[in-house]
Structure 1
Amino acid sequence: MILLRTGCGLLALAIATPSLAQTPDAAELARLVQAQAAQIATLQARLDRLEGQQAAAAAAPVPAPAAQAAPTQVAQATPEQRRTVPFAPQLAPPGPAERNVAQAIAARENPSGVTTEWGSGLPVFHSADGVYTFKPRGRILADVSSSFGSKSDGRNLTTTGMRALRLGLEGGVGTHFFYQMEADFSENEVDVVTAFMGWRNRISPGLEYDVRAGHLFNDRGFEGSTGSDSTPFLERTTVATAIIPQRGFYGIGIMPRLFWKTGHASLTVTGDRVDGTQTVSDGRTFLARAHWNPIKTDNAVLHLGAWGFDESLSPAATTLTRNTVIGGRFNGALRVSTGPLLGGKGTTGYGLELGGYRGPLWIMAEAGRRDAQLDGGRPDFTSKAWSVSGGFFITGDLPPYNPRLGAFGQPKVKRPTFDGGPGAIELTARYEDLNQTDLLTGGSGWAATVGVNWYLNSFTRLQLNGIHWYTNNRTGDYTGGDSGETLSARVAVTF
């Protein structure tokens, strides 16, 4: 068909053009034959490409050029999770001439040369030269919680809530500059969370650093440094939620970090978190953490960690009152409270971490202390918390421990349900304790939790927690000893 159309075209061209109707000399004839051959090759390559698209899509992915597949820390997927395909598939016929024609056609249809690398649910975009990367990101964590057994009916609640509803982006320029920003909508209003720019580089083989500046998430404790989408339980331990700067988990500032083969260290200097107050000075927080893996093999890790912070409060934020989650985030009546506490000057806290994993079994113990300074000659007060957590993957998967950061990350599910496997199934248990009773209005409490996590793949999970809790508050609507149970469940997707 192609040859017939081409022959007709040449005949029409010869009739319409007197100069071509004449008998051409040898040079002219060679030029015509060469032009015709190029046209036939172009049309044949285009036809082959159209007929082969479906087969090419079903075939194994063609690796991207080295410049496009350069290693980047934007994508956190494993090689098994990645799939790199150009936006416009390019077929490469054996002949050099046909290869050049096919590449020319692809260049016209995809002049930018942008490629996409599929990781945890969403693509990472790469520029043709590999310099620029960009990735949308987000998380959806939907919870339901029911508490019962309390002596106070006001605590026996069934509620729903969005633990996180985030949208954001991350990217980089070259191998050194990177950025990230996320906003959360879980309380039906916009809350800026992570938002920073950074620079990373290698000092020597096995020794690297990065420096981030902006609205930063704390590097504080094992679960305190773990994102809400990666915690093995629906809520972090009392060490992470009570032994914390008054400003919370975020602050605007700078954080240099140093990484080596068996650990990392960080130093953070921040003011307050994102707000609209510029009429008084911000608070100031110094925070440092380090972790070390003296044992680190393919299926075993020993984790040691230590951290501490010192915080000077802003004149506009001297309230030290705290109501700490003990039996579920979405029951506002179920808290361990300090009672009303005004006139704070600052806080100091520190903690220790010890744990690790061997094969599918992991365990982690944390302990921390927070001292709060009050003005007016009043006595200071102390909060103490500790916890022991553990888990076991009955499907044989390894715990999602991140040795670079000394925290939990997204798991690497060996047999995802979307590929016909069982996913990864984890059984968990935890005991945690919080004591603030050296303050006259301070309360205490503890909780024992058992749970099960079903990871459908590396970014989708179902979680179920059963919690038996006890509180003894000295002020508020629910004073004295009280105990009960909370059953909570979560559906989570991180991308």
Structure 2
Amino acid sequence: MKLPLIGCAIGALVIATPALAQTPSQDDLAALVRAQAAEIAALKARLDRLEGTAATAPATIAATPQTTPATPAPERLAQVTPPPVITQPFAPQLVPPGPAERDITRARSAEASGVTTEWGAGLPVFHSADGIYTFKPRGRILTDVSSTMGSRYNGRNTTTTGMRALRLGLEGGVGNHFFYQFESDFSENEVDIVTAFIGWRNRIGKGIDYDVRAGHLFNDRGFEGSTGSDSTPFLERTVVSTAILPQRGFYGIGIMPRLFWKTGHASLTVTGDRVDGNQGGNDSRTLLARAHWNPIKDDRRVLHVGLWGFDEGLSATAGTLTRNTVIGGRFNGALRVSTGALLGGTGTTGYGAELGGYVGPVWVMGEAGERHARLDGSRPDFVSKAWSLSGGWFLTGDLPPYNPRLGSFGQPRVLKPIFDGGPGAIELTARYENLDYSSLLTGGRGWAATVGANWYLNSFTRIQINAIHWDTDNRAGAYIGPDNGETVSARVAVTF
């Protein structure tokens, strides 16, 4: 659009310049070039202003007569509408902007629409302008390495690595009542749907509210059994959590109403099998209940008391009760406490208790549980017993990440993250745990003592190390008889 007009202007200047009728000198040519350059610059500036007017007021320009004199004067050029020649495949307002322009445009659009974004644990939370819709991506990356030594069986003295969790998911809500969550885990070379539910929450009265969730639900069972894998103070949950549980494991499809008050909560869960369970027959049925109470609760102190129990009716296709329970690290498959092969189960009943709390940066928690597995025929029940005592101390003065609403551990609130120039939060931990399957002739037993350290770089990033002395006595399997040794494990974890 600009080039034809500028060319006409140059032609007019050449014709009208008397110096061209004679042979020009070098000085004349230099002066002429400078004059023409000045005229071209002036015309270009006026054309830029003209096009700016066309972009902001197309109706006015369209009404301008489409006439152009043969030799337009500069003043006349400012009133002439350029011909409608399109030299690019996009309208000017649709031309893809550069990276910086794109970011600015999106930011202005978000601001204009009223959408707000807040950054929490590593990822943004989006809120609609009217406050009705919320959305947040979520996930966790837990990477472990483990080395076992000292066993009298060479097959147990191994060094292994693994992804304890590799999750991606989302959560959100509509209004004040409806909410949802979905997560899928990709660890151990498998795709596994974990949490997946919709829910409704409301308030009953002052200080009392409830929610009801339906879908693929995580157990509310025990202190560490109700704590997510990204929030446990040790690399693996206690044997109370891993052994005294329904046969279906930590998840099941069903419904869970929960009631909350100022000093505690209670839940009731009715579920069938896991989301990827056997679809060839009836589901097993599990009824589970838990309640916790904080008789002491202030800014620096909490006393925690909890009770839980479950009853499970097994389907005909789920009669296998064999257990091989972690005792010295998740990723050493040879290091387990085993029941031996156990078939013919018809149901299980389990129960447990929790007692603990914290004062300032020091916490302690004791758990115990028992599980009775009912066998067909005249055989007596298979009884599993487990207990543990755990504790921790935050050297940096941070408070333990206790969640008084759910009676479990969550993500810590680090007072001085390293990304702000602080030391992060440093915690020392210790635990003793004991597991007994010996009510069976083929059942084993085991115990483990663990010392560890956790370094929380900020509220969602941490490094953990555990040193475990373990002792087992299995009566079945590849590693029979008394055995003991040490396992050292470490983890790098990010939760968002």
Shorter-chain TM-score tier: 0.7 to 0.9
| Equivalent pair of 2:110/2:116 in contact (CA under 8 Å) | no
| Equivalent pair of 1:134/1:171 in contact (CA under 8 Å) | yes
| Equivalent pair of 1:258/1:265 in contact (CA under 8 Å) | yes
Describe the superposition over 1:411-441 as per-residue Cα deviations: whole angstroms up to 9, x where unpaired: 0000000111000000000000001111111
Equivalent residue number for residue 439 of structure 1: 440
For 2:397, what is the secondary structure of its paired residue?
A: coil
Describe the superposition over 1:380-423 as per-residue Cα deviations: whole angstroms up to 9, x where unpaired: 11000000000000000000000000000000000000111000
Equivalent residue number for residue 184 of structure 1: 185
Pair 1:316-2:314 in alignment: no
Distance 1:169 1:377 in 2: 49
Equivalent residue number for residue 409 of structure 1: 410
Equivalent residue number for residue 352 of structure 1: 353
Distance 1:296 1:328 in 2: 34
State the one-letter code of the partner of 1:168: G
Task: Please report how far the alpha carbon of residue 278 of structure 1 lies from its aligned counterpart in structure 2 after TM superposition.
Answer: 2.5
Distance 1:469 1:394 in 2: 27
Equivalent residue number for residue 160 of structure 1: 161
Distance 1:424 1:162 in 2: 24
Decide whether aligned partners of structure 1 residues 276 and 433 sit closer, same or farther in structure 2, where only a CA change above 3 A counts: closer
Distance 1:484 1:277 in 2: 38
Equivalent residue number for residue 94 of structure 1: none
Equivalent residue number for residue 114 of structure 1: 115
Distance 1:493 1:17 in 2: 64
Equivalent residue number for residue 137 of structure 1: 138
Equivalent residue number for residue 278 of structure 2: 277
Distance 2:236 2:428 in 1: 16
For 1:254, what is the secondary structure of its paired residue?
A: strand
| Equivalent pair of 2:142/2:166 in contact (CA under 8 Å) | yes
Task: Please report how far the alpha carbon of residue 113 of structure 1 lies from its aligned counterpart in structure 2 after TM superposition.
Answer: 2.7
Equivalent residue number for residue 30 of structure 1: none
State the one-letter code of the partner of 1:114: V
Distance 1:295 1:324 in 2: 35
State the one-letter code of the partner of 1:491: V
Describe the superposition over 1:265-303 as per-residue Cα deviations: whole angstroms up to 9, x where unpaired: 000000001126332100000000000000000011000
Equivalent residue number for residue 235 of structure 2: 234
Alignment: residue pair count: 412
| Equivalent pair of 1:115/1:127 in contact (CA under 8 Å) | yes
Task: Please report how far the alpha carbon of residue 199 of structure 1 lies from its aligned counterpart in structure 2 after TM superposition.
Answer: 0.2
- Unaligned ranges ≥5, structure 1: 19-52, 58-85, 89-105
Describe the superposition over 1:85-108 as per-residue Cα deviations: whole angstroms up to 9, x where unpaired: x963xxxxxxxxxxxxxxxxx5x6
Length-normalised TM-score, structure 2 = 0.79
Q: CA RMSD for the aligned pairs?
A: 2.5
Distance 1:224 1:258 in 2: 19
Decide whether aligned partners of structure 1 residues 17 and 330 sit closer, same or farther in structure 2, where only a CA change above 3 A counts: closer
| Equivalent pair of 1:87/1:116 in contact (CA under 8 Å) | no
State the one-letter code of the partner of 1:404: R
Describe the superposition over 1:222-271 as per-residue Cα deviations: whole angstroms up to 9, x where unpaired: 00000000000000000000000000000000000000000000000000
Equivalent residue number for residue 457 of structure 1: 458
State the one-letter code of the partner of 1:321: T
State which structure, 1 or 2, has the greater radius of gyration over its C-alpha atoms. 2
Describe the superposition over 1:114-173 as per-residue Cα deviations: whole angstroms up to 9, x where unpaired: 221111000011111110111110000000000000011000010000000000000000
Task: Please report how far the alpha carbon of residue 109 of structure 1 lies from its aligned counterpart in structure 2 after TM superposition.
Answer: 7.0
State the one-letter code of the partner of 1:489: A
State the one-letter code of the partner of 2:330: R
Query: Pairwise mapping of residues 239-388 of structure 1 onto structure 2 (< 5 A)?
Result: 239-275=240-276, 277-388=278-389
| Equivalent pair of 1:366/1:388 in contact (CA under 8 Å) | yes
Deviating runs (4+, > 6 A) in structure 1? none
For 1:273, what is the secondary structure of its paired residue?
A: coil
Decide whether aligned partners of structure 1 residues 493 and 109 sit closer, same or farther in structure 2, where only a CA change above 3 A counts: closer
| Equivalent pair of 1:321/1:342 in contact (CA under 8 Å) | yes
Pair 1:172-2:173 in alignment: yes
Distance 1:161 1:223 in 2: 21
Task: Please report how far the alpha carbon of residue 9 of structure 1 lies from its aligned counterpart in structure 2 after TM superposition.
Answer: 6.2
Equivalent residue number for residue 448 of structure 1: 449
| Equivalent pair of 1:459/1:493 in contact (CA under 8 Å) | yes
State the one-letter code of the partner of 1:450: V
| Equivalent pair of 1:285/1:312 in contact (CA under 8 Å) | yes
Task: Please report how far the alpha carbon of residue 110 of structure 1 lies from its aligned counterpart in structure 2 after TM superposition.
Answer: 5.2
Equivalent residue number for residue 425 of structure 1: 426
Describe the superposition over 1:186-233 as per-residue Cα deviations: whole angstroms up to 9, x where unpaired: 011210000000000011121010000000000000000000000000
Distance 1:375 1:277 in 2: 21
For 1:224, what is the secondary structure of its paired residue?
A: helix
State the one-letter code of the partner of 2:226: S
For 2:226, what is the secondary structure of its paired residue?
A: coil
Length-normalised TM-score, structure 1 = 0.80
- Unaligned ranges ≥5, structure 2: 1-44, 66-99
| Equivalent pair of 1:149/1:485 in contact (CA under 8 Å) | yes
Describe the superposition over 1:427-486 as per-residue Cα deviations: whole angstroms up to 9, x where unpaired: 000000001111111100000000000000000000000000000000111111100000
| Equivalent pair of 1:87/1:115 in contact (CA under 8 Å) | no
Which segment drifts farther, 276-285 or 257-266?
276-285
Equivalent residue number for residue 482 of structure 2: 481
Distance 2:277 2:216 in 1: 14
Equivalent residue number for residue 210 of structure 2: 209
Distance 2:171 2:283 in 1: 28
Distance 2:461 2:285 in 1: 37
Distance 1:299 1:109 in 2: 41
Distance 1:454 1:196 in 2: 32
| Equivalent pair of 1:87/1:114 in contact (CA under 8 Å) | no
Distance 1:378 1:237 in 2: 29
State the one-letter code of the partner of 1:397: D
| Equivalent pair of 2:385/2:437 in contact (CA under 8 Å) | yes
For 1:240, what is the secondary structure of its paired residue?
A: helix
Query: Pairwise mapping of residues 65-84 of structure 1 onto structure 2 (< 5 A)?
Result: none
